[in-house]
Chains A and B, each alone.
Chain A
Amino acid sequence: MDALLNGLFALADPYLLMLLFAATLGGVLVGALPGLNATTGVALLLPFTITMEPIPAIAILTAIYCAATFAGAITAILINTPGTSASATTCLDGYPLAQRGEAGRALGMAAVSSTIGGIISVVCLMAAAPLLARAAYNFAPPEYFALTVFGLSMLATIGDGSPVKNIISGAFGILVATVGIDLLTSVERFTFGLNELSEGIPFVPVMIGVFGISELLVQADNLHVERKQVVMKSIRLPNMNDYRKVWKTILRSSGIGTFIGILPAEGATVASMIGYNEAKRWSKTPEEFGHGSLEGIAGSEAANNSATGGAMVPTLALGIPGSPTAAVILAGLMVHGLRPGPTMFTDQADFAYAIFWSMLLVNILFFFIGLWGAKIFARVTFVPIQILWPIVFIFSIVGAYALEQSMMDVWIAVGSGILGFYMRRYGFSVVPMAIGLILGGMLETRLGQSMVMLDEKWWLMLNRPLSLFFFVLTILALFGPPVWDRIIKYRFKRKVAGK
């Protein structure tokens, strides 16, 4: 209780409040700008937070996360281009409403649903994270190892690419994490005699490269894309009838989004798709979906914003990122010398609760900023990419350099950017690679500790109920979806043959 109040008092600092306001504004801009999303925004901002105290630094990163996730809806509704992938389903109903001259109503519904979803998820975060941390407090290295393996196995389902390619990408990230001096034995690995590599490949330049610079190359391929804006007369909040129609959808999607967010590696995009589908399934007017249904917007937006709070649960309580953006925030926590995991709620409880309160505040802030500034932010979408992206590049490079003031980091950022572009081009998502890089060191350390603890008999991990449970979950996460797919296809074939 003390920590809860101390966290709240930490927000009384005017400097922090000002930073949160600026970060929320920045987050909404990032979400509305073409090609930028929450993950890229957080990765680009991370180096600039290094000189700050941990609370303001992490608070502004989470502010960007929450606000950018919401702002994706602005472009989704006004120009039929989701600002972030999590808003893709918002286009389906938001744009048709905008074409009918009801852009304000659509944006109003998106803002209200996002805010309610965000607040519900932060309340769940406040309740669930300490409980989860308490449950994990007595985990020994084998349990942690099994849990990390489970977290990494969830990477298989990230994005719409092949699960095998996702795992290769994640494993490559883990391999990159082994570069440098081995912490257990002090032996140099893959350093090629370069002193700069002895501490390993730094997270931040890689994040900037794979999320920022690779996107620059993707944008180079999209120069011909034209964006047309729908005229928006005014923002009109949903009326009582609209609320009556959607309140159940908002609550349902908030629950779905929070749950999906808590699952390791599953983020707002998956949440919004499931939230939208469930909204349609439970709707009394499913035929309106895809033609301008307010329920569709509410289902998608409440789910994607509630996933942000959900994603922070495993990130803070277990040190396993709940989404790609949470992975970058996890890197930020590590860079600031914080140790995400169960001890965070005993050793750094004030910090954890300050972050929760700041997320709650940001969810309220972006409601007002988003509503009043929607017209302006919609114009931001039309900043020409030939002006925007060179500027993003300058900030990316200076950010990569500023952290350690090393030109090697600039090389790493550019190299990761080109590698990331080719990975994306050939269907290898860069998100698993980034998460693998962050979790790789932890995974190896826990495996080493488990081997010492179990007298080098790794199979004894299977004798421990919790480890076994996580390994079973891993197998289900990896093989469940393809097996289920085959069962469904088999049933379908039998049904067709029967007819």
Chain B
Amino acid sequence: MQPFVDVSKHTSNRTVFRYLIPLGIIAFCVLAYFLSTQFDRVPPILKRGMQPSDFPQLIIGLIIILSVWLIFRDNDKTPKRMTKVVHLTMGLLVGFLIIADIDLFLGLGLFATMLTILWGERRAWAIILVGLFVPFSVFFLFDSIFEVRFPRGLLTNIWYG
């Protein structure tokens, strides 16, 4: 039974790899091309050699041609399946962006804490170091020495008043 399972996995990945990625790139290019047709056009006296849409369209055309080539000639190996940890790390990144909207350092602290636990760290001092000590130190280093003004939020408001 084992070989059968492997082959089916391989085939579905191979299809994604061989066709869906170039087709996805082409779809992106078609959308970008459409957007480029919406750019303002300038009168000949102001156009300085090219219309604003000319150069992006040239590049989009090149990408489309190369993507079509990829469909027929891509011999790269199928990448191995992503582990659950990668998916969860990516989820944490998205979570970070949401929480960063409330407070950047709250987002950084929570992300660092969750990531270190997710990646297998169980020692309390290490978790406190990356989740609490480092974000606080970085905040005060940048605020006091580099004079970076961080966005106001739940925690930063306590400092900024």
Contacts and interface: CB of A to CB of B under 8 A. Distances in A.
Q: What 3 A-B pairs have minimum CB-CB distances, sorted nearest first?
A: A451-B49, A386-B119, A390-B112
For the residues of B in contact with A, the DSSP-based class is: helix
Given A168-B63, A386-B126, A398-B142, 8 more contacts: A175-B56, A184-B49, A184-B50, A189-B53, A217-B90, A223-B119, A394-B134, A401-B150
A464 B32 CA distance: 34
Nearest to B83: A221
Contacts of B69: 164
A171 interface: yes
Contacts of A119: none
Contacts of A373: none
26 contacts: A51-B146, A165-B70, A171-B62, A171-B66, A174-B59, A175-B32, A175-B63, A178-B56, A187-B42, A189-B56, A190-B36, A220-B86, A220-B119, A221-B85, A221-B86, A385-B119, A387-B130, A390-B111, A393-B111, A398-B148, A401-B150, A402-B146, A407-B101, A407-B104, A414-B96, A421-B90
Contacts of A298: none
A395 B142 CA distance: 10
B67 A391 contact: no
Interface string A184-197: 11011110000000
B52 A387 contact: no
Contacts of B126: 384, 386-387
Interface string B62-98: 1100110110011110010011011001100100110
Interface in A150-173: 161-162, 164-165, 167-168, 171-172
Nearest to B32: A175
Contact of A189 (B39, B116, B142): B39
B46 interface: yes
Contact of A395 (B55, B116, B119, B138): B138
Contact of A397 (B79, B90, B108): B108
A398 B138 contact: yes
For the residues of A in contact with B, the DSSP-based class is: helix
Interface of B: 17, 21, 25, 32, 35-36, 39-40, 42, 46-53, 55-56, 59-60, 62-63, 66-67, 69-70, 73-76, 79, 82-83, 85-86, 89-90, 93, 96-97, 100-101, 104, 108, 111-113, 115-116, 119-121, 126, 129-131, 134-135, 138, 142, 146, 148-151
B25 A168 contact: yes
Contacts of B138: 394-395, 398
A226 to B, nearest CB: 13
A189 B52 contact: yes
A426 B108 contact: no
B79 to A, nearest CB: 5
A128 to B, nearest CB: 32
A426 B96 contact: no
A216 B89 contact: yes
Contact of A185 (B52, B67, B150, B151): B52
A427 interface: yes
Nearest to B35: A190
A425 interface: yes
A386 B120 contact: yes
A190 B113 CA distance: 37
Contacts of A182: 52
B39 to A, nearest CB: 6
A389 B104 contact: no
A450 interface: yes
Contacts of A421: 90
Contacts of A221: 82-83, 85-86
A462 interface: no
B115 A390 contact: yes
A407 B59 CA distance: 29
Contact of A389 (B17, B86, B96, B115): B115
